[in-house]
Amino acid sequence: MKHVLSILVYNQPGVLVRVAGMFSRRGFNIHSLAVGTTQDPRYSRITVVVCGDNGILDQVVKQLDKLVEVEAIQLLPPDASVRRGIAMVKIAAGGDKRAEVLKLAEVFRANIVDISEQTATFEITGDDDKIDAFVDLLGPYGILEMVRTGLAGLARGTSNIHQYERREYYEQIVL
């Protein structure tokens, strides 16, 4: 089972290694990981998709919480969050196939970001299922190469990660 976790971390050198290292060291499986800055330059935010049952998820959250540079952790459940990733897919699309592929892209609301005589490169944004479906359908046309980001996500409504920021005593007591 896949779970999406959002992690607010101090924007410091090595913080990504610490987070990723914890996953590999303890044998947790990362499906995808995306990291970027936030509105506050002191923090970065990592969205990680982790595979495992609820027991594993519980351990992942607790072990993340022990990292000194982790400020807050929020679980993003599918029904209460928006999650998006981006994929770029380059296919062989010369000659008569081209019109067909363009139609397909339109259905998925994928953009063409590059086109040449023999190729077309699409950019698609969506959750994992949507991207998977698009990539599957493009398969028969011959995918030359593709690249995907990890998911990024936010909770719906007023819920936000800052509600999970460490209480004051964490400043003093470090587990």
Partner 1 sequence: MRISGAQIIVECLKEQGVDTVFGYPGGTILPLYDALHDSAIRHILTVHEQGAAHAADGYARASGRVGVCIATSGPGATNLVTGLAAAFMDSIPVVAITGQVPTSLIGRDAFQEVDITGITMPITKHNFLVKDPARLAETLRYAFRIAASGRPGPVLVDVPRDVQTAAVLFEPAGEPEKVPFAMSGAVLARIDAAAEAIARARQPVIIVGGGAVAAEASSEVAALAERLACPVVSTLMGLGAVPASHPLFLGLTGMHGHKPANNCIHDADLIIAVGSRFSDRVTGDRVKYAAGKTVVHIDVDPAEIDKNVAAGIGLTGDMKTILAFLGERTPSGDTEAWWEKIAAWQADYRSEPDSGRLTAPWLFTEISSQTAGADCIFATDVGQHQMWAAQHLKIETPRTWLTSGGLGAMGFGLPAAMGAQIAAPGKRVIHIAGDGGFKMTGAELYTVAARRLPVISVIVNNSGLGMIRQLQHAFFDKRYTACELPAVDFTAFAAAFGIGAATADTPQEFAAAFAAALASPGPRVIVANIAPEDLVTPMVPPGAAINAYLDI
Site string for partner 1, 19-38 (x = CB under 8 A): --x---x-------------
Residue 167 token pair: 């209480």
Stretch that binds partner 1, among 30-38, 64-72, 126-134, 144-152 (CB under 8 A): 64-72
Task: Choose, by CB under 8 A, the member of 2, 18, 98, 166 that binds partner 1.
Answer: 18
State the minimum distance, in angstroms, from the CB of residue 87 to partner 1: 32
Q: Taking a C-beta distance cutoff of 8 angstroms, is the pair 40, 50 a contact?
A: no
- Give yes or no for residue 41 binding partner 1 (CB under 8 A): no
Q: What is the CA radius of gyration of the chain?
A: 19
The crossing angle, in degrees rounded to 10, of helices 15-25 and 54-66 is: 140
Taking alpha carbons only, the member of 101, 97, 50 closest to residue 73 is 50
Residue 117 token pair: 């005589």
- Give yes or no for residue 66 binding partner 1 (CB under 8 A): yes
Task: Choose, by CB under 8 A, the member of 11, 65, 102, 155 that binds partner 1.
Answer: 65
State the minimum distance, in angstroms, from the CB of residue 41 to partner 1: 17
- Give yes or no for residue 42 binding partner 1 (CB under 8 A): no
Residue 123 token pair: 């950019």
- Give yes or no for residue 68 binding partner 1 (CB under 8 A): yes
- Give yes or no for residue 169 binding partner 1 (CB under 8 A): yes
Q: Which is nearer to partner 1, 65 or 127 (CB)?
A: 65
State the minimum distance, in angstroms, from the CB of residue 13 to partner 1: 8
Angstrom distances, CA of residue 95 to CA of 99, 119, 138: 9, 10, 16
Unique residue bearing structure tokens 């996953």: 23
**CA–CA separation, 108 and 90 (whole Å):** 15
Residues across the chain: 175
Residues within the interface to partner 1 (CB under 8 A)? 13-14, 17-18, 21, 25, 55, 58-59, 62-63, 65-66, 68, 167, 169, 172-175
